[in-house]
Chains A and B, each alone.
Chain A
Amino acid sequence: MTANQKIYFYPVWLRIWHGLNAIGILTLIFSGISMQSSIESANLLSFKSVINLHNIAGILVTLSYFLYFTGNLVTPNGKFYIIKPKGFLKRPIQQAIYYAWGMFHGMKAPYPISEKRKFNPLQKYAYVLVMYMAVPVVIITGFALLFPEIIIDQVYAFSGVFVTAVFHSTMGFFISIFLMVHLYIASIGKSPLENFKSIFNGWHEVH
Chain B
Amino acid sequence: MNNRFIRLFFLLVLGTFLHANAQSYQNAQHHQCLKCHSNQTYSFFNSVKGKDEKRMMNPYFILDTVALSAAVHKPFDCTDCHSSEYGTYPHQSNLKLEPLSTCLDCHGGDASFASYHFERIDEEFRKSIHFQVSGENFNCSKCHSQHTYFATARTSNNVLDIVDYSNKMCLSCHNDMKKYKMVSGHENPKLVQVHDWLPNQELHFKNVRCIECHTEVLDSLKVSHNILPKSKALRKCVECHSADSRLKASLYKYQNLQKRSEDGSITMVLANESYVIGSHQIPHLKIASILIFFLTLIGIIIHSSFRIFKKK
Contact = CB atoms under 8 A, between A and B. Distances in A.
18 contacts: A35-B278, A36-B278, A36-B281, A37-B278, A46-B237, A51-B199, A99-B303, A104-B312, A148-B200, A148-B203, A149-B203, A157-B264, A158-B270, A159-B273, A170-B285, A177-B292, A180-B297, A180-B300
Contacts of B274: 159, 161-162
A103 B304 CA distance: 12
A47 B236 CA distance: 8
A158 to B, nearest CB: 6
Interface in B14-71: none
Contacts of B285: 166, 170
A195 to B, nearest CB: 14
B243 interface: yes
Contacts of A40: 238
Interface in B280-312: 280-282, 285, 289, 292-293, 296-297, 300, 303-304, 306-307, 310, 312
B160 to A, nearest CB: 8
Interface string B145-159: 000000000000000
Contacts of A47: 236-238, 241, 278
A53 to B, nearest CB: 13
Contacts, number: 77
A40 B241 CA distance: 10
Contact of A104 (B279, B297, B310): B310
A161 B277 CA distance: 10
Contacts of B296: 177, 180-181
A148 B275 CA distance: 11
Contacts of B162: none
Interface residues of A, number: 32
B219 interface: no
A207 interface: no
A188 B278 CA distance: 37
Q: Max chain A CB contacts within 10 Å: which of B202, B272, B285, B289?
A: B289
A134 B120 CA distance: 54
Q: Max chain B CB contacts within 10 Å: which of A36, A148, A170?
A: A36
Given A180-B300, A181-B296, 16 more contacts: A38-B279, A47-B237, A47-B238, A47-B278, A100-B303, A103-B312, A148-B203, A154-B273, A157-B270, A157-B271, A161-B275, A162-B270, A162-B280, A177-B296, A180-B297, A188-B307
Q: Max chain B CB contacts within 10 Å: which of A153, A154, A157?
A: A157
B258 interface: no
B202 to A, nearest CB: 7
Interface of B: 199-200, 202-203, 236-238, 241-243, 264-265, 269-275, 277-282, 285, 289, 292-293, 296-297, 300, 303-304, 306-307, 310, 312
A203 interface: no
A104 B202 contact: no
A60 B281 CA distance: 27
Nearest to B302: A100
A37 B243 CA distance: 7
Nearest to A148: B203
Contacts of A35: 241, 277-278
A99 B303 CA distance: 9
Contacts of B265: 157
Contact of B275 (A99, A159, A181, A188): A159
Contacts of A84: none
Contact of A173 (B243, B289, B300): B289
Contact of B202 (A149, A184, A188): A149
A59 B279 CA distance: 25
A7 interface: no
A165 B199 CA distance: 17
Interface in A89-119: 99-100, 103-104
A48 interface: yes
A70 B10 CA distance: 81
A38 B289 CA distance: 17
